[in-house]
Structure 1
């Protein structure tokens, strides 16, 4: 299974880049992993938010394969424990999911088309985090889930 992290926005900022790279490298001990950074749209200053979200959704939907399992990170999604995330990932692997895509939406969130396409909606917290930090938290939590699956000590250090 490939674990694929997708985000709409600019490249990783320096203050999170090292951590993202570290956890991404660690995840490769369990699954193939990749990042897909979808650049933000240009010339959107006078564009309504709904149009920005619609155009971003088109980019995401074009890039997704119909067999990809899409997990949308959304503040209205379900909150789960690290152990539940581990079980979730194991279930996807057991189902022979080819690609597990975790999507972090754009600055205005995502269009309804993405909500409809998502196989699962997950909320990291009721708090709102900057997108750059969400990337780091996401990578760390997926690594933590992988270490739980192997009964490794990282989760209980």
Structure 2
């Protein structure tokens, strides 16, 4: 199984780049893992419909899409690990975690997602969400292998 992190926005800011690169490299020990940064809409107003096209075009029909959204379901780290294990056991070829644009995603993208996940009821800057996401997926991988990183 491959894991990809898709995000709408600018490239990784310097203050989080090192952490994102580190945790992405760590995830690569378990699953092939990449980032795809999709450009934000260029016009003002509701950018979600304009951003939907490139998001949907980046996905293959058999990709399993997890949308990160504050209105989604929350998980513990152990539940995330179980989710990843289930996808791998179900022969999922490509698991995609999507961080939408600054104003969320269009309903067409929301409808395409197989699952909507909320990291927290708090709202975080997109740059920090990237770091948290990559760390939590790494943590989940270590939980699945019973490695020492996670302390429960």
Structure 1: give runs of 5+ residues left out of the alignment: none
CA distance in structure 2 between the partners assigned to 1:106 and 1:65 by the alignment: 20
CA distance in structure 2 between the partners assigned to 1:145 and 1:108 by the alignment: 28
Structure 2: give runs of 5+ residues left out of the alignment: none
Per-residue deviation, 1:13: 0.1
CA deviation profile, 1:87-123 (whole Å, cap 9, x unmatched): 0000000011110000000011001111110000000
Partner of 1:14: 14
Partner of 1:29: 29
Q: Which of 141, 146, 155 matches 2:150?
A: 155
Is 1:123 aligned to residue 105 of structure 2?
no
Tell me the TM-score normalised to structure 1 length.
Answer: 0.95
Partner of 1:2: 2
Per-residue deviation, 1:41: 2.3
CA distance in structure 2 between the partners assigned to 1:21 and 1:61 by the alignment: 25
Per-residue deviation, 1:80: 0.6
- Aligned CA-pair RMSD: 0.9
Tell me the TM-score normalised to structure 2 length.
Answer: 0.98
Partner of 1:40: 40
CA deviation profile, 1:118-155 (whole Å, cap 9, x unmatched): 00000000000000000000000000000000000000
Q: Which of 129, 133, 153 matches 2:128?
A: 133
Partner of 1:77: 72
Divergent runs of 4+, >6 A: none
CA distance in structure 1 between the partners assigned to 2:27 and 2:80 by the alignment: 14
The alignment partner of 1:145 has SS state of: helix
The alignment partner of 1:121 has SS state of: strand
Is 1:87 aligned to residue 82 of structure 2?
yes
